Amino acid sequence: MRKLYLALALFTSINCFGQSERRLSTFLSFQANKTLSDRTITNNSGGVGLGLQTSFNTGTWIKPSLEINTDLFAGTKKLYVTENGKTIKSKNGMLSLYAGPMFQPTERLFLTATVGASIYNSETHLGIRPSIGYHLSKNKRWMTKASYTNVFQRDEISNERFSYLSFALALKLF
């Protein structure tokens, strides 16, 4: 009987230690975008995208986070030129790499404040991307997220920013 109790105690302790939280949480997101401001807003009025968000599970309220997004923008795609004849290019596709802290005040709610680069038309631009998200279930398998992306377009044409809202639904990969 003692051996049975010892075996049960060992199996229970092994099971408890085997269920530790993973060091990384990665989500695949599907997002819809709505452009808020751009110098050619009719060319880039909205779009869709895919993203990967990875956070490091540190056991604290603040965790490092990394986001990689790719977005396709649609619109009228009219030709815009400046007064001196320079072409103002529209945005067809964009690759974004953002990193920063994730603040998780409750088990399901989180806020991120990421900074990074957005690459489009063969140029890299600095951007910021604050987000608010919510895990839809206790096991954190699904989440929804709203993000505001502000890209600083500093070039010879203008210093007007490009900003858009993203609404995403994400599935946990691992």
What stretches of the chain adopt beta strand conformation (E)?
Answer: 24-37, 46-56, 62-74, 80-81, 87-88, 93-103, 109-120, 123-135, 142-151, 162-172
- Which pLDDT belongs to residue 128? 98
Helix (H) / strand (E) containing 2: helix 2-18
- Which pLDDT belongs to residue 5? 54
pLDDT at 11 over 70: no
Q: Is the pTM of this model over 0.85?
A: no
Buried b (16+ CB within 10 A) or exposed e, 49-66: bebebbbeeeeeeebebb
- Which pLDDT belongs to residue 2? 62
pLDDT at 16 over 60: no
- Which pLDDT belongs to residue 10? 57
Span 49-69, mean pLDDT? 94
pLDDT-derived band at 8, boundaries 50, 70, 90: low
